[in-house]
Chain A
Amino acid sequence: MSNQVLHALYDDDDVLLNAVKEVREQKHHIEEIYTPFPVHGLDKAMGLEGTRIAIMAFIYGCIGLGVAITMINFIMIEDWPQNIGGKPSFSFLENLPAFVPVIFEMTVFFAAHLMVITFYMRSRLWPFKEAENPNPLTTDDKFLMEVEINGNEEELTALLKKTGAIEITIPQNHEE
């Protein structure tokens, strides 16, 4: 990444939210924000696109539904029909009420797990990955805003100071 950036540290999420609005109003580009916890309304203030994970959740749920129906039809009806409680498993439809809990759980299982995996992949997270956050304080109680510099360093520093940043730094060895 050739873009030079500036790191502004905040110690309050409300201050941060207002700062984000102001910085964006002044037409500066915010690269990324690191926070110790999810800040309500931050995605909207940053102008991020809405998540599409809900659509994927629906599709994953449908996959789970299909897998569950196929699976239970094979196990309980085709492969090894049994007579459970006087209800012989000869027909999928007639035994459907007994299968509904299983089908439901499988739907939820697929939707939940595939959603988490999707989220990890989308966020480029995997085991033993080096942390990307530039300042360990953001895992404690500080908020860090990364703003792009286009030769307007002084102006930007003044603006960020005004919005309540407690510390402003320009990282020297930003990426190799």
Chain B
Amino acid sequence: MYTFPNKLKNIARALMILGFTGLVFGFLGAPKNIAEAKAMVATEHHGEGHGEAAENHEETSEVHAEEAHAEEAHAAEGHGEVSHDQEGHDSSHDEHLLHQLQNKPWAALYVAAFFFFMIPLGVLAFYAIQRAAQAGWSPVLYRVMEGITGYLLPGGIIVIVILALSGMHFNHLFIWMDPEVVAHDKLIAGKVAFLNVPFFLGRAVFFLAGWSLYRYFSRKFSLAQDQATDISNHKKNFRISAGFLVFYIVTESIMSWDWIMSIDPHWFSTLFGWYVFASMFVSGITAIALVTIYLKSQGYLEFVNDSHIHDLGKFMFGISVFWTYLWFSQFMLIWYSNIPEEVTYFITRIEDYNITFFGMVAMNFVFPLLILMNSDYKRTNYFIIMAGIVIILGHYLDVFNMIMPSAVGDQWFIGIAEIGGFLFFLGLFIYTVFTELTKAPLLAKGDPYMGESERFHY
């Protein structure tokens, strides 16, 4: 049995306290009314002018001008919420700014909450694939995977609570939740049958319930198999895993449309579900590798050898390339066809989010590609950890790029609230996962493939 070391427990607690303070700071710093919002942007303009910020503002004013044009165009087409006369335009612009600044701490909270929720969801899919494929190499890692999926339910509940708060108009993350917006927007009005708050929350609860049920039963059968004399529990696990994968790929797609794509309700991409899946899959596998290597360094998991790490490394490498493939496919089709309502998505990202948008490609593709290409490096813990940390941060940025541009526009910054959100959920994740790991032996000794997995070598 594993005991949660006090040192790590304290680190997790410290991260949570630190992160929580950062989030509170972010929420307190948000403007209450239009005057405050204008003042904030104005003082930033006259601010100290340290390199990056100054550059940002120049872009900001340019983009504002462009945005104004775009909005006028929209209004003319009857899409926008903006009325034609110039005064109404100005005031709605200020209100827009206020909403963006008020969204900022919420978006920081939501990005981090979603990112750390998608890790156990990705691990759950990976676990189900191992079960359904009756994999021979991975049973030694089952308990690590089960430990990580322990965060699925608490993390999912937090995300759904944030979504429910959005539904109660505590923030403007999802503009389609605002009846005032829908009334003036034909495109969103056409989607009301799907995008309405009760159905949206109902779906969210249904998805989380489905995933958690699979997690509950597979864990139960896995624990029961430890003591069993036959392999009936193993067979049951095989069956529910195959069923879960079908359920998962449908619900994961809809979840990604609901929880991320609908933040930008005018825009859609048909491979978005796959794109989010690739992101959660590679983050999940990376988390498995990092937790495994940590536990090994503490003297646990003596049955995990470097061939297992090598296989995880191969998956990290492969799925990173897969993610890039989807990222590029989505980008290239939209770039080439150049349809206005589609291409705005990438124009905002390239103009306002240039560093994070392309920085993330370097972190999620170029770095793992070069580091993990060599077979020997994939067997070296040091390289796996280094690549793993970059991949985790890179996919946080990926979620950041998916949510922030529509939520806060060009008012983004990776500041105290964003870092606080990341640290808070990192602490909570570590605390939950390692608590879950203490609840069962680290070797699922009853698994019929355990012998093969322990002898596994490349």
Interface residues of A (CB under 8 A from B): 54, 58, 85-87, 97-98, 100-101
How many Å from the CB of A147 to the closest CB on chain B? Answer: 26
Tally A-B pairs: CB < 8 A.
19
> In the complex the two chains form, is B375's CB within 8 Å of A98's CB?
no
Main secondary structure of the interface of B (DSSP, over half): helix
Q: A85-B338, A86-B338 are in contact. Are A98 and B332 (CB under 8 A)?
A: yes
Give the contacting residue for A54; candidates B335, B336, B337, B375; CB below 8 A.
Answer: B375
Main secondary structure of the interface of A (DSSP, over half): helix
Interface string of B331-373 (1 = CB under 8 A from A): 1100111100000000000000000000000000000000001
- CB neighbours (8 Å) of A101 from chain B are 332
Q: A54-B375, A58-B373 are in contact. Are A97 and B338 (CB under 8 A)?
A: no
> In the complex the two chains form, is B375's CB within 8 Å of A97's CB?
no
16 intermolecular pairs with C-beta atoms under 8 Å apart = A54-B374, A54-B375, A85-B336, A85-B338, A86-B338, A87-B336, A87-B338, A97-B328, A97-B331, A97-B332, A97-B335, A97-B336, A98-B336, A100-B328, A100-B332, A101-B332
- CB neighbours (8 Å) of B373 from chain A are 58
How many Å from the CB of B169 to the closest CB on chain A? Answer: 40
The docked-state distance in angstroms from the alpha carbon of A86 to that of B374 is: 42
A-B contacts besides A85-B338, A97-B332, A98-B332, 6 pairs, CB < 8 Å: A54-B375, A85-B336, A85-B337, A86-B338, A87-B336, A97-B328
Which residue of A has the minimal Cβ distance to B373? Answer: A58
For chain B, the count of residues having a C-beta within 8 Å of the partner chain is 10
- CB neighbours (8 Å) of A85 from chain B are 336-338
The docked-state distance in angstroms from the alpha carbon of A98 to that of B333 is: 9
The docked-state distance in angstroms from the alpha carbon of A97 to that of B329 is: 10
Which residue of B has the minimal Cβ distance to A85? Answer: B336
- CB neighbours (8 Å) of B338 from chain A are 85-87
The docked-state distance in angstroms from the alpha carbon of A133 to that of B331 is: 53
- CB neighbours (8 Å) of B328 from chain A are 97, 100
How many Å from the CB of A76 to the closest CB on chain B? Answer: 14
Interface string of B203-235 (1 = CB under 8 A from A): 000000000000000000000000000000000
Which residue of B has the minimal Cβ distance to A40? Answer: B458
Which residue of B has the minimal Cβ distance to A101? Answer: B332
Which residue of A has the minimal Cβ distance to B457? Answer: A41
The docked-state distance in angstroms from the alpha carbon of A87 to that of B338 is: 10
**Closest 10 A-B residue pairs measured CB to CB?**
A97-B332, A97-B335, A85-B336, A100-B328, A98-B336, A54-B375, A86-B338, A97-B331, A58-B373, A100-B332
Interface string of B371-387 (1 = CB under 8 A from A): 00111000000000000
How many Å from the CB of A140 to the closest CB on chain B? Answer: 29
The docked-state distance in angstroms from the alpha carbon of A8 to that of B335 is: 64
- CB neighbours (8 Å) of B336 from chain A are 85, 87, 97-98
- CB neighbours (8 Å) of A58 from chain B are 373
How many Å from the CB of B336 to the closest CB on chain A? Answer: 6
- CB neighbours (8 Å) of B335 from chain A are 97
Which residue of B has the minimal Cβ distance to A98? Answer: B336
The docked-state distance in angstroms from the alpha carbon of A98 to that of B373 is: 26
| Listed residue (A54, A97, A98) with the most chain B CB atoms within 10 angstroms of its CB | A97
- CB neighbours (8 Å) of A100 from chain B are 328, 332
How many Å from the CB of A127 to the closest CB on chain B? Answer: 32
Which residue of A has the minimal Cβ distance to B329? Answer: A101
- CB neighbours (8 Å) of B331 from chain A are 97
- CB neighbours (8 Å) of B337 from chain A are 85
The docked-state distance in angstroms from the alpha carbon of A101 to that of B329 is: 10
How many Å from the CB of B254 to the closest CB on chain A? Answer: 29
The docked-state distance in angstroms from the alpha carbon of A98 to that of B332 is: 7
How many Å from the CB of B435 to the closest CB on chain A? Answer: 40
The docked-state distance in angstroms from the alpha carbon of A98 to that of B328 is: 11
Which residue of A has the minimal Cβ distance to B338? Answer: A86
